[in-house]
Amino acid sequence: MSYRDAKKKYAALGIDTSAAIKTLKAVPVSLHCWQGDDVRGFDTDPSKPLTGGIQTTGNYPGRARTPEELMADLDKVMSIIPGTPKMNLHASYAIFEGKKWADRDKLEPKHFKRWVEFCKERKLGCDFNPTFFSHPKCDPLTLASPNEDTRKFWIEHGKASIRISTYLAEELGQPCVMNIWTGDGFKDVPGDRIGPRRRYRESIDAILSEPYDFRKVKPCIESKVFGIGVEAYTVGSAEFALSYAAFNRDKCIPLMDNGHYHPTEVVSDKIPALLAFFDEIALHITRPIRWDSDHVVLFDDETREIAREIVRCGGLEGRVNIALDYFDASINRISAWATGYRNLQKALLYALLQPSEKLKELQDNGEFSRLMVEQENLKTMPFGDVWDEYCKSCGKPLDGEWFDDVMQYEADVLRKRD
Ligand code: RNT
Ligand code: ZN
């Protein structure tokens, strides 16, 4: 079926495919830099293991080892993905010119100047993340540590990150979403659960006391149910993070990562729950297989349902800040990056092609049999033709047209790195 036929079929349901394509093109979706190098960054010794609740598995050849390599790989990915990407950096990706290394508490905007140039040349906005892991000052706790010096160090890192986020927002003319996540927690049954949480709360208060314009810099608090090595207790649990954001709604927003809940919980359902209270929320979209495994995002049921809720709740009008967060070191990293990004784009387009008003009406009228049947019918609509049209109109390859090119890049570039 051609796009013209597909357009007609959707029009018969009252859906304007051209409008959907136009809307999606303008939605910024953050592209996480850390898929390209297995979350290593440039500020610590790459021979040391990742710590602080982050781990990657696999040793596929071609990991980016330098800013130049990572930027080249990002360009490759961006040549494949449709839509409006926004960069998403971690503080550990600071670039030290002339070998002048600075520790995380001493990071400055100048350490991100090359990234600003990179973004400007490509007309990208940029999000930011303080990096509270893979560093000798994880004792193992950071912001929740009982050790005052440790806490101070990480608070200074958080404040430095706010200054860097302001710099990114001002230079690039787009708001910077700045996400606070720590892996603070304990492997086994703690002797004190409230102490670390009180300290975590005070530390975030201290970080957010650094002046910033909330319209430009949007600090987020990301929760997590557990992590590797901290199986028994996580300081920044769901209740903690949500309560923090709710009690400080003039200063920050909650961030939900769909790998950070019990396996039967779904973030799709949590989106409207939070949007009933918060003006804005942020998401990390990932694919957890039984736990926070951070697999590449697929065009699967839950990704589609997340996208449907984003669209139905007005999330594309600035209420939902969308970012990707996965890292797979066992397959070609560029292919992984592009597959996940394209799949999220697909899910958003799919969601924009739903007759949301009609479905709502059926529900409100109690027509549940029809609601089920119509929702099932939608699944065999000629979505692929609209997706192809979207890719074409963005000047990007269709499914089936880019993988060989990535394999060529692997042979020419990635394989020569090891
Ligand atoms: C970890 C969190 C966090 C990180 C990134 C690298 O479980 O999801 O968001 O994945 O900041
Ligand atoms: Zn995350």
Q: Read off the pLDDT of residues 181-218 as tens digits, 9 standing for 90 and up.
A: 999 999 999 999 999 999 999 999 999 999 999 999 99
- 284 touches ligand 1 (CB under 6 Å): yes
Q: Rounded to whole angstroms, how far apart are CA atoms 169 and 163?
A: 10
Catalytic residue status for 181: yes
Write the DSSP string, 242-295: HHHHHHTTTT-EEEEETTSS-TT--HHHHHHHHHTT-S-EEEEE-B-SSSS--B
Catalytic residue status for 257: yes
Tokens 């850390």 label which residue? 34
- 325 touches ligand 1 (CB under 6 Å): yes
Q: pLDDT at position 350, please?
A: 98
Chain segment 19-67, per-residue pLDDT in tens: 999 999 999 999 999 999 999 999 988 888 888 888 899 999 999 999 9
Q: pLDDT at position 54, please?
A: 86
**Cis preceding-peptide flag for 140 (omega within 30 of 0):** yes
CB of 247 within 8 A of CB of 253?
no
Task: State in Å: Cα 214 to ligand 2 middle.
Answer: 21
Catalytic residue among 294, 388, 389, 410: 294
CB of 13 within 8 A of CB of 341?
no
With a pLDDT cut of 70, the percent of the chain lying above it is: 100
Residue owning the nearest CA to atom 10 of ligand 1: 325
Q: pLDDT at position 97, please?
A: 84
Q: pLDDT at position 55, please?
A: 85
Q: Of 388, 386, 342, give the one whose Cα is nearest residue 81.
A: 342
Q: pLDDT at position 418, please?
A: 74
| Candidate from 181, 225, 237, 296 with most ligand 1 atoms within 8 A of CB, to mutate | 181
Chain segment 6-16, per-residue pLDDT in tens: 999 999 999 99
Q: pLDDT at position 49, please?
A: 82
Q: pLDDT at position 160, please?
A: 98
Q: pLDDT at position 24, please?
A: 98
Task: State in Å: Cα 325 to ligand 1 middle.
Answer: 7
Catalytic residue among 38, 171, 292, 388: 292
**Mean pLDDT taken over the chain:** 97
**pTM attached to this predicted model:** 0.97
Q: pLDDT at position 386, please?
A: 98
**Distance set, CA 218 to CA 27, 70, 126, 310 (Å):** 17, 26, 12, 19
State the DSSP H helix or E strand holding residue 222, giving kind and residue range, or none if neither. strand 217-222
Q: Rounded to whole angstroms, how far apart are CA atoms 299 and 308?
A: 13
Q: pLDDT at position 52, please?
A: 83
Report the SS3 class of residue 370: helix
Q: pLDDT at position 47, please?
A: 82
Q: pLDDT at position 281, please?
A: 98
Alpha helices in 49-193 (DSSP H): 67-78, 113-122, 148-172
Q: Rounded to whole angstroms, how far apart are CA atoms 261 and 21?
A: 32
CB of 254 within 8 A of CB of 278?
yes
Q: pLDDT at position 48, please?
A: 83
Catalytic residue status for 294: yes
Q: What is the mean pLDDT of residues 383-396?
A: 98
**Distance set, CA 94 to CA 164, 310, 335 (Å):** 10, 32, 25
Is 99 a residue whose pLDDT tops 80? Answer: no
If pLDDT is split at 50, 70 and 90, which confidence band does 90 have?
Answer: very high
Chain segment 298-311, per-residue pLDDT in tens: 999 999 999 999 99
Atom index in ligand 1 nearest the CA of residue 257 equals 8
Chain segment 323-372, per-residue pLDDT in tens: 999 999 999 999 999 999 999 999 999 999 999 999 999 999 999 999 99
Write the DSSP string, 333-364: HHHHHHHHHHHHHHHHHHHHTS-HHHHHHHHH
Chain segment 152-173, per-residue pLDDT in tens: 999 999 999 999 999 999 999 9
List Cβ neighbours of 65 (8 Å cut-off, separation of 6 or more).
Answer: 37, 46, 417
**Which residue(s) pair with 179 in the sheet?**
220
